[in-house]
Amino acid sequence: MKNNGDDMNKREVNIASLIAFLFLITLVVGLTYQNNITGRPVEGEPPPSEGEGGGGCTYSAQCEDNDPCTIDGCLPTGVCSHSPLENCCGNNQCESNYGENCGNCNDCACSSGYVCSNNACVIINACSDGTAYNTCSTTKPKYCSSGSLINKCSSCGCPSGQTCQADGSCIQTCSDGTLYSQCSTTKPKYCSSGTLINKCSTCGCTSGYICVNDACTIDQSQSVCSDGTSNNQCSFTKPKYCDNGNLVNKCSACGCPSGYSCQADGSCVQTCSDGTLYNSCSSTKPKYCSSGTLINNCQTCSCADITKEYCKSDGTCALKCGNGQIDSGEECDGTNLNSQTCISLNKGYTSGTLSCNSLCAFDTSKCVSTQKCSDGTLYGQCNTVTKEYCDNGQLKKNCEQCGYTCPSGYSCQADGSCVKIISQGTTGPTGSQDLKVSDEGMEISKETTHPSTLPSSKIPIKLDSCSDGTFYGSCSLNKPQYCDNGNLVDRCYFCGCLSGYCKIDGSCKSYDEISADLQVQTSKNSYRLNDEVLLSKENVLVTINKVLGIAPSQESGKSVIVNQGETEIEGYLVIKIQKQVDKGWINYRIINKDRRLRIIEPSQTIDVEQIWNENGGFKPTEQGNYRVYIGLFDINGRIIKTNEGYLSSVIKFKVA
């Protein structure tokens, strides 16, 4: 049996243990609550991750959002709280009451169309993309006009690969400005996605070309120009040249009409006989080219040597010697001896009469002296044997007073000295070149035999001239004469002809001297394809034979050229077939074109039929109207004219 004392002791121990246990529980709960408030974990316990404790927070560190304008914490309910702080730049609130503005806080940034100025937002003059008024946008061709973006490519340009339009917009084009999927003005080019390609099937070809596999090639069957000239041939109208269907100026190949000169650009300009342009001064002063005629005009062109010449009212120049005044370079002038006498010259004369010669130099031939030169010649006298002049004790060659002849290439001067002639080096046409002549698009190339270089223009200090007054190296007004070192010679291929035609020797032949007959006839007027076209003159030869004074015969029944005159004829024979087209007659085939000069003696007959047959004749392969054209041309490419008309003939025939 337990006693009551033991029971009491046991009861006291149990009560004390219970109190101690409750105190421990209270302490743990208190520490846990404190940790939740301060955000500190229990010592020795790692911080719980987000989501523990039923998916919420367990302490404040888990709620940090790195926003300086919020207070972060974990509520007892396990939810993070972010309480905003006032007076904090970055809370997305422009708090002007705390001194925030556009200059110190991004929360107060200015809206579109405004700019921060002096810590305040003010409106700016700009378009929607920020482009300032009256300024080009970075997006071409946009332009900010009073707040509106408009197209203005004339000022702002276009993006690469686009072209400016009249309305200010830009459109896509190729390098030459052609719109996409459009034909260029340069056929057969086509703009394909920015690249120019050949596409003649869509864009066509220029005149004289045909389309082959979308590329244009020369149409050899139709390569003629608008005047009927064949391709790569000179037109009858100088200086025109048929270049792939286009008539262009090419005087270097086709020459110029009479009275015109060839220019570097291929054109011809009107000139006078010496090549001077209209209304211009000639190199031969005082000549002036007035509407094709060289006239004296020293008022405009001055004189060749103003130190020795003066300009007269009639436009001519005259030597100053003869005006009675002592001019520069003159010793005297007429009776004006400049107060000098034989004695005052200090040349050893003791008496006599001093005079002035025609070149305004002293004439001492009548001055008297007892002094002599080493050969015994008196002072102021000439040695008649050596042609030397005794000049104050010295013997000198004197071409003026003593008759001394200057060497070749030198000119006698007023003081009796000889001066070398200065050469200008003016040259004429080159004789070795092929000369081009033409008729209706026919081009004839021939070798010339005239001098290859015209004489140089020689201009001494004292201008020399030929007997008719023409200066050295110039054409005379009396064509075809040319002043060659004092001699008048014929140079029609340089100076031209007043009338008639130019011969290979440089002379001109009058049309009145030429009497000839040229006629041609085909054997029939109608042919079939591949028939041989024959020349026959049986009907016309009766007339020709009567002129020749011979009876008609079967052997003489041919097409011929007959020189009926008493002088020879020289020229270049052309025979060709021409075909009729809408634009007129075009050269179809060249039968003959002389490359060398043909000389036809008086009463001589040229057998045209033989020349026709030797060159293969003609077999038509196309139906149509044709004609045979025959002509005789001179050296300048003109049809020779006889006293009865031009020396040419045309006969038509048809191929059915």
The number of beta carbons lying within 10 Å of the beta carbon of residue 452 is 13
- Region of 113 (left: φ > 0; alpha: ψ -120 to 50; beta: rest) is left
Cα(372)–Cα(383) distance, integer angstroms: 11
**Rounded-to-5 percentages of helix, strand, coil across the chain:** 15, 35, 55
Please give the pLDDT value at position 35.
Answer: 44
Q: Indicate the range of 70-79, 441-450, 576-585 predicted with least confidence.
A: 441-450
Please give the pLDDT value at position 23.
Answer: 58
Burial label for 45, CB within 10 Å (0-12, 13-18, 19+), is exposed
CA–chain centroid gap for 446, Å, is 30
The maximal CA–CA distance of the chain, rounded, in angstroms, is 208
Residue 244: pLDDT above 50? yes
CA–chain centroid gap for 291, Å, is 28
Cα(129)–Cα(115) distance, integer angstroms: 14
- Region of 204 (left: φ > 0; alpha: ψ -120 to 50; beta: rest) is left
Q: What structural domains and CATH numbers belong to the chain?
A: 135-172 (no CATH), 511-655 (2.60.40.10)
- Indicate the SS3 state at residue 435: strand
Cα(500)–Cα(600) distance, integer angstroms: 17
Could you read off the pLDDT of 163-182 as tens digits, one per residue? Answer: 888 899 998 888 888 888 88
Cα(502)–Cα(422) distance, integer angstroms: 31
Residue 376: pLDDT above 70? yes
Residue 645: pLDDT above 50? yes
Residue with the larger pLDDT of the pair 220 and 384: 384
Q: For the chain, what is the mean pLDDT?
A: 75
Residue 158: pLDDT above 80? yes
Q: Indicate the range of 40-49, 56-65, 331-340, 534-543 predicted with least confidence.
A: 40-49
Please give the pLDDT value at position 552.
Answer: 39
Could you read off the pLDDT of 76-100 as tens digits, one per residue? Answer: 888 888 887 777 887 778 887 777 8
Contact partners, residue 528, CB within 8 Å, separation at least 6: 655, 656
Please give the pLDDT value at position 500.
Answer: 74
Residue with the larger pLDDT of the pair 298 and 546: 298
Residue with the larger pLDDT of the pair 329 and 557: 329
Please give the pLDDT value at position 477.
Answer: 82
Residue 493: pLDDT above 80? no
Could you read off the pLDDT of 411-462 as tens digits, one per residue? Answer: 777 667 777 664 433 333 333 233 333 333 333 333 333 333 333 333 333 3
Please give the pLDDT value at position 566.
Answer: 79
Residue with the larger pLDDT of the pair 590 and 10: 590
Contact 656, 527 (CB under 8 A): yes
Q: Tell me the mean pLDDT in the region 508-523.
A: 73
Q: Tell me the mean pLDDT in the region 68-80.
A: 83
Residue 15: pLDDT above 70? no
Please give the pLDDT value at position 428.
Answer: 36
Cα(463)–Cα(316) distance, integer angstroms: 14
Please give the pLDDT value at position 433.
Answer: 31
> What percentage of the chain exceeds 90 in pLDDT?
8
Contact 550, 633 (CB under 8 A): no
> Residue 14 to residues 2, 17, 23, 25, 327: CA-CA distances in angstroms?
18, 5, 15, 17, 165
Q: Indicate the range of 332-341, 460-469, 478-487 predicted with least confidence.
A: 460-469
Q: Tell me the mean pLDDT in the region 587-597.
A: 84
Please give the pLDDT value at position 464.
Answer: 65
Q: Tell me the mean pLDDT in the region 591-608.
A: 83
Core vs surface per residue 55-70: b (16+ CB within 10 A) or e: ebbbbbebbeeeeebb
Could you read off the pLDDT of 259-312 as tens digits, one per residue? Answer: 788 888 989 888 888 888 888 898 888 999 888 888 998 888 888 877 677 787
Residue with the larger pLDDT of the pair 337 and 471: 337
> pLDDT-based confidence at 336, cuts 50/70/90?
very high
Beta strands 641-642 and 142-145, pairing class? unpaired
Please give the pLDDT value at position 319.
Answer: 73
> pLDDT-based confidence at 41, cuts 50/70/90?
very low
> pLDDT-based confidence at 220, cuts 50/70/90?
low
